[in-house]
Amino acid sequence: MARPGQAEHRKRKRQAEEAAARAQSHGGSSRSNSTPRAGLPLQMQVQGSGPSFQVASSRMSLGGGAAGEGNMGEEYEEGEEEEEEEGGEYDSFAQQGEEGEEDDEDEDEDGDAGEAFVIGNADGKGKGKKKDKKGGGAQVLPVADLPDDWEGDAEDGATYLALAMRADKVLPTFTRAENPWSSSAAPALPDIGEAAQPDQAAAGPSRHPALPKKSWQTVFPHHFVEYRRTIAQSWPPSPPLPYPSTWPKIPPTSQRGEWGYYINGYPRRKLSPPARPKTAASSAKGKGPAVEVDEEEGLNAEVDEEEGMNAGGGDEDDVDMDLEDEEEAALNYDTLEPLGERHKSRDPHVCILQKLDTFHIISVLTTLTTHIQNTLTPLESDLIPPSYDPLTSSSSSYRPHSRKNPFTEHYSRWIYALLLVLDPFLSAAQVSALRELARVVMRVGAWRWVEAVMAGEVGLPASSSNGGAVGEGGTGAAPAPVPWVMGARWKYARDSREATGVAEKEMARPAKEQITPNEREEYDETSVDETLGRCWLIVHAISAGWGQKDLVMDLEEMFS
């Protein structure tokens, strides 16, 4: 079998013979044609304008005349023979290109194109180069031609590339990932029928009744995040709302203790008692003009015996008595300064929140956390049922009581409002402050539940207003014990107001007008439902707003 370079050598030899013949026929004109062109290396000089390159060897003679041209052809042959014997390579990329053309032609004739190495331009448009039929560019690596139903593992590189190209064809042009924070990706709402049944099954067989329902736990984080996003679009308001001039100044961050007075109202100070007016007798002692008395009148004046005995030290006793009376009057003086805006509690209005930055809000939340913890600690130490009877003799509903409330509704409104306008991106120390607040609130909920169990407060009203048991449709049957479920008391109170027409009166009444106790039973913010509802609201808000999902798991473990 001929070596790969022999065919090229024979071709070059024929081209050299033809060039020598043309040079002999043209005579002197060949001298000018053989002159090297300026700016090109000797190995790259070509003769003629034909498609084939006439490559000159570095040892070829550039002499003129027919003899010179003949010598050039002979030396070219001699040089090619030496290169063939030594196994040398070609001198330029043009020779390699022509070799590639011949190789492509031979491969096309043999029909073995699937395994060929093809060298060409990146766009596959080179002359004589084979364009990849399956891909977008020229194929430079061998790819196996596998049938469509071929299955198995790749044993070589060609098979692996064929499998990779086959898998690439079935992939989509682009992929889209769902944005978990998109407003359109709202969680699926629970069934209304299930949420409306305040029974034990709604809370789940293994779920503690003090915990909120799974449906609320799923929907609330989405609502809270969207509410914060809506507020952030126009926060702070422009122009800012005016701050009332009668209100006290907002305490700075350095005066953290002042925030308790600012939120709950400053105490009223006692006024100083007014100065006692001096009597005529006391003012005349030692200060009046001297009265001239005759010696005979003084001796003959009638003097009472007792008055005469006390005449010597009377002035000193009067002065001591006046001082004691003034001190006692100052201690017993109960007049306070007039009640003003300074002494009233304040709600978290926009005119206040707009003046607080992130550091200020964290400072206020830390102050409230400390106050709640200091109030809760002595209550946790001694869980004793209150000294009152929780159930009255005339009614099965419990009476509002005057127990200490470590987490008031007023505090919960402030904390929730501050969380709504707090920056979503916080430092580690600031997130730690929020986690401490959530854990203190969780302790409040646990304490209130234990106290309610010990006091017997976790039972629903035994009968409704029409005589039927709650949940039995008011058939007049004997009241059955109903297990306590969080939120069921709220629903019962709402249904009772709608049944008696109180709800319509509340809607038609001005907002500022108070509702009398005869129309609605007295509101008790220390009830189990109210306290637990406030606690779980703050815990889930911190968990959803700042990604503290473990707080919800800790809450469920606390009541497991």
Per-residue pLDDT of the chain (560 residues; tens, 9 = 90+): 556 567 787 888 888 888 888 877 765 544 444 444 444 444 444 444 444 444 444 444 344 444 444 444 444 444 444 444 444 444 444 444 445 545 544 444 444 444 444 434 444 444 444 444 455 567 788 899 888 888 888 889 999 999 998 888 888 877 788 877 765 544 454 444 444 444 444 444 577 888 888 888 899 999 999 999 999 999 888 898 998 888 888 888 888 778 888 888 877 776 665 555 555 444 444 444 444 445 455 445 454 544 444 444 445 555 555 556 655 555 555 676 667 777 788 888 999 999 999 999 999 999 999 999 988 888 776 554 444 333 333 333 444 445 678 888 889 999 999 999 999 999 999 999 999 999 999 999 988 888 888 877 775 444 433 333 333 334 444 444 456 777 777 777 777 766 666 555 554 444 444 444 444 445 677 888 888 889 999 999 999 999 899 999 999 888 87
CA dist., res. 54 & res. 512, Å (int): 107
b/e for 64-95, b at 16 or more Cβ within 10 A? Answer: eebebbbbbbebbbebbeebeeeeeebbeeeb
Tell me what pLDDT residue 544 has.
92
Question: What SS3 class is residue 261?
Answer: helix
Q: How confident is the model at residue 231, as a pLDDT?
A: 92
Longest Cα pair distance anywhere in the chain, in angstroms? 187
Please give the pLDDT value at position 453: 84
Residue with tokens 């799923």: 218
Separation between Cα atoms, residue 99 and residue 256, nearest integer Å: 88
> Residue 152 region, left (φ>0) first, then alpha (ψ -120 to 50), else beta?
left
pLDDT at residue 325, as a whole number: 61
Report domain extents, the chain: 1-35+46-83, 118-148+158-164, 213-267+344-389+400-463+482-510+520-558
Angle, in degrees to the nearest 10, between helices 409-420 and 358-381: 150
Token digits for 264? 């709950």
**Do 222 and 180 meet the contact criterion of CB atoms below 8 Å apart?**
no
- Calculate the CA 385 to chain-centre distance: 41
d(CA 159, CA 153) in angstroms, rounded, equals 8
User: Omega of the bond prior to 252 within 30 degrees of 0, cis?
Assistant: no
Dihedral pair phi/psi, residue 481, rounded to 5°: -65, 130
